[in-house]
Structure 1
Amino acid sequence: MFLRGLIKPWRLSRSLKKLFCLTLLAVLLNIVLLYLLANNDTSGTWKGQDLAVGSSRNLSNAPRAAGPRRKAVVLFSRWRSGSTFMGELLKKAGRGIFYSYEPLHEYGVHVLYEDVEETHVAVEEVKSILRCQFDFSEIDELLQKNPLLREACKTNDICKDANYTAEVCRRSSLHVAKVLRLGLQWARPLLEMEEVEVKLIYLVRDPRAVISSRSRVAWCSTPSCKDVKTVCSLLEDDLFEASLLQEDFPKRFHFILYDQFCQNPFAALQDLMTFLGLPVTKDQRKLLQSKLPSTDPLSIYKNSTAQAQLWRQRTSFIRVVMPVQRRCWDSMEVLGLRMFFSEKDLVDLSLPVLEQPVEL
């Protein structure tokens, strides 16, 4: 009746009347739809979910910058596990790479794995560095191992300014950081960062080779570095966490057994770069092809395949191999490593140290 009374005073053609009615119907439908959306309060529901997710992940309160997230690769490993060599490979993954070398160096020769304030502070330090937030005390260490920053500082008098360093970091094509002093369970907060897209590489080595190498350096004097029981316990915890991270972050967590990498380094490098979504570079191939002899234990220019087996010829079977095999037995089985039951077998390099490919 309302519509009929509204239209009656006008002398309209049938087609105009039909158009008028359809227009009014569309207006009424829009009014009803807006009413329903307002009462359902859909936006409020999503806001609540977003806050819940943010609080459960313990994310930073700092707002994320607009545009695509910065990309970072974090190498998790331990001392004398091939991390210097692997870090150099990652540093040569392209032009414009910003390399943060051992950002937790000030914590000394310790592995932070307990849920205590010191560990949380260390995690926040790594997160700040991945966000390209630095303080003055860190600049000298960064300059020593960061070719991108050194090159930028050649033509700039303010290279030790933390803000300038942060700007160089933000403009880099990729940020690579090597972390040796955190238990692997503390990698999860890094992978959950919203403002930085983190990919994580976990590098592990035969614990017999690790202990053998550490026994020859004076600075390795703490339990988490030299005590076989502690080292094996930390390895077991890391391998358990690695299996969880592989399941939870299959596209952003990559496991490398150094001994396996050195058996076929070119194929392993290709696999690594595929994971990173980058091509293998000429500088990386050159590094792998290097066969220069070196007596420097920190030199990365040496035959990686031969270097991986060198420990077998200068390690005490009784003082190193037997104790490590006894304490690390389960972890070594997970890694697919051969057990040596005599000194003769240990030095026989025709017996490969890797019996089967590792499967986490």
Structure 2
Amino acid sequence: MNLKRKIILIAAALPVVFTSLYISNHLQPFSSTKESENNPQKELNFVVSKNSEIGELSRASIERELNHPNPRIIILWTTWRSGSTYTGELLAKALPKTFFSTEPLRWWREVILHKNDSKSNAAFQFLNDLLHCHVHPGYTKQVTSLRNFQYYMRWNSYFSKRCVPLDACTNTTFISDMCKTANIHIAKVIRLSLKWAWRLLYAEDLDIQIIYLARDPRAVLSSRSRRIFCKDDTCKDPDTVCKLLEEDLIEVEKMSQRFPKRFKFVQYERIFEDARAGLEDLMSFVNLPVSEAQLQLLHPTLTDPDAPFAINKDAKSQVDRWRTTNGFEKVARYQRACLRPISALGLRVFESEEELLNLSLPLIVSYPFLS
């Protein structure tokens, strides 16, 4: 056999070899018997029999190239108790095939990662890899943390309803493949300072838009003061919290100017002055129509307003609620620490308890700093 003929035969065999290797390496976590471990075709049939939808996904993943294009990405960048649960759910209901990464950095606990250190870099790298749908086995601890977070599994239903039948919710290959099949990837990021977003905005291989959500820091601090999870200074100390907010707002102005089509600043209080108009403005930025599922969220059946992760509540009624649940002394302490970001956001500074409790006095008194 001459050399040219040998080369042709080897080239013809490569696709078969590659497919067999891919099945063996990527479907192994789903095998249930020793026989399936030695027979890739039976292993694939096992997946199909467990769940027909998963089976179609697995067949598709075998046939497509490994560098399958990533889904479109929308990041809601904010902090705890800033209206992110409600706003994130609105965004997630735009399209049915949505991979919703709720608090993907949960493994790093309740701190704001703002220093350029190993911890912050590791958190950013995980986020970056997740957004690229490349979750490798080294992230097992991180994805296990998400698997154990009930709200992540509840809200990322596109993923959870497919992984649970196969017990694959912590399988990094399965997570990567599911991420790639989505039409859109929504990520709610609340543990990183905004300056880390520059790297994502400059990434040429990501179809990404970032929405930065800010809320009156007095409302944020008031809500966090009643939550047992908030122990670190970056979460509970007024001086630290408002210093970080001020730093974020500096980045907001720069990003809005540099990336007007990829970055948007929104303010919780202004969105829910007119929730329908606020929703339409958000969807116009991401170039998607308003869905019926989103409209249903705007007119919910009221639930416990103190429920920490409730979305079925009147968001507009929450805007001023902190004014009636905190004494003026406490609010005054927040105001002293947060005067600069409060003013930058165009919000009223209350001079007395009478003003604080007088809800006829509007909270918004001027345009925010970006106007």
- Give me the TM-score of the superposition, normalised by structure 2: 0.76
Name the structure 1 match of 2:119. Answer: 118
Say yes or no: does 1:164 pair with 2:174: yes
| DSSP 3-state at the match of 1:95 | coil
Name the structure 1 match of 2:242. Answer: 232
Question: Offset of 1:117 from its aligned partner?
Answer: 1.9
Question: Offset of 1:161 from its aligned partner?
Answer: 2.5
Say yes or no: does 1:313 pair with 2:314: no
Name the structure 2 match of 1:273. Answer: 283
Gaps of at least 5 residues in structure 2 are: 1-64
| DSSP 3-state at the match of 1:202 | strand
Question: Offset of 1:325 from its aligned partner?
Answer: 1.5
Say yes or no: does 1:72 pair with 2:79: no
Does the CA contact (< 8 Å) of 1:69 and 1:196 recur in 2?
A: yes
Question: Offset of 1:282 from its aligned partner?
Answer: 0.6
Separation of aligned partners in 2, 1:158 and 1:323:
48
Question: Offset of 1:158 from its aligned partner?
Answer: 4.1
Question: Offset of 1:352 from its aligned partner?
Answer: 1.1
Which protein shows a greater Rg?
Answer: 1
Separation of aligned partners in 1, 2:273 and 2:179:
34
Separation of aligned partners in 2, 1:347 and 1:157:
52
Decide which of 302, 317, 327 is 2:313's aligned counterpart.
302
Does the CA contact (< 8 Å) of 1:191 and 1:197 recur in 2?
A: no
Render the CA deviation track for 1:283-334: whole Å, top value 9, x for unaligned.
Answer: 1110011141324232111111111111110112102x11221221121111
Separation of aligned partners in 2, 1:297 and 1:157:
28
Does the CA contact (< 8 Å) of 2:71 and 2:207 recur in 1?
A: yes
Name the structure 2 match of 1:329. Answer: 339
Question: Offset of 1:154 from its aligned partner?
Answer: 5.5
Residue type of the alignment partner of 2:203: M
Residue type of the alignment partner of 1:311: W
- Which has the higher mean CA deviation after the structures are superposed, 131-140 or 230-239? 131-140
Residue type of the alignment partner of 2:263: F
Name the structure 1 match of 2:133. Answer: 132
Name the structure 2 match of 1:10. Answer: none
Name the structure 2 match of 1:82. Answer: 83
Alignment of 1:85-234 (within 5 A): 85-134=86-135, 135-137=139-141, 138=143, 140=147, 141=149, 142-153=152-163, 156=166, 158-234=168-244
Residue type of the alignment partner of 2:286: L
Distance 1:131 1:324, change over 3 A: same
Separation of aligned partners in 2, 1:278 and 1:314:
37
Say yes or no: does 1:347 pair with 2:357: yes
Separation of aligned partners in 2, 1:160 and 1:329:
44
Separation of aligned partners in 2, 1:337 and 1:95:
36
Name the structure 1 match of 2:260. Answer: 250
Distance 1:160 1:109, change over 3 A: closer
Distance 1:211 1:258, change over 3 A: same
- Which has the higher mean CA deviation after the structures are superposed, 292-301 or 273-282? 292-301
Render the CA deviation track for 1:146-192: whole Å, top value 9, x for unaligned.
Answer: 11012323654545422122111101000011111111111111112
| DSSP 3-state at the match of 1:175 | strand
Question: Offset of 1:69 from its aligned partner?
Answer: 5.5
Render the CA deviation track for 1:86-111: whole Å, top value 9, x for unaligned.
Answer: 11111111110001111111111111
Does the CA contact (< 8 Å) of 2:111 and 2:235 recur in 1?
A: yes
Distance 1:285 1:265, change over 3 A: same
- Which has the higher mean CA deviation after the structures are superposed, 136-145 or 196-205? 136-145
Question: Offset of 1:145 from its aligned partner?
Answer: 3.1
- Which has the higher mean CA deviation after the structures are superposed, 236-245 or 212-221? 212-221
Separation of aligned partners in 2, 1:195 and 1:354:
39
Separation of aligned partners in 2, 1:230 and 1:80:
16
- The count of aligned residue pairs is 296
Question: Offset of 1:272 from its aligned partner?
Answer: 0.3
| DSSP 3-state at the match of 1:196 | coil
| DSSP 3-state at the match of 2:269 | helix
| DSSP 3-state at the match of 1:177 | strand
- Which has the higher mean CA deviation after the structures are superposed, 130-139 or 69-78? 130-139
Render the CA deviation track for 1:227-284: whole Å, top value 9, x for unaligned.
Answer: 1110110011000010001011110001111011111111011000010010011111
Separation of aligned partners in 2, 1:243 and 1:65:
38
Question: Offset of 1:206 from its aligned partner?
Answer: 0.3
Residue type of the alignment partner of 1:121: A
- Percent identity, aligned pairs only, is 38
Separation of aligned partners in 1, 2:125 and 2:167:
30
Say yes or no: does 1:285 pair with 2:286: no
Question: Offset of 1:66 from its aligned partner?
Answer: 6.7
- Which has the higher mean CA deviation after the structures are superposed, 201-210 or 288-297? 288-297
Separation of aligned partners in 2, 1:228 and 1:237:
14
Say yes or no: does 1:358 pair with 2:359: no
Does the CA contact (< 8 Å) of 2:111 and 2:234 recur in 1?
A: yes
Alignment of 1:53-68 (within 5 A): none
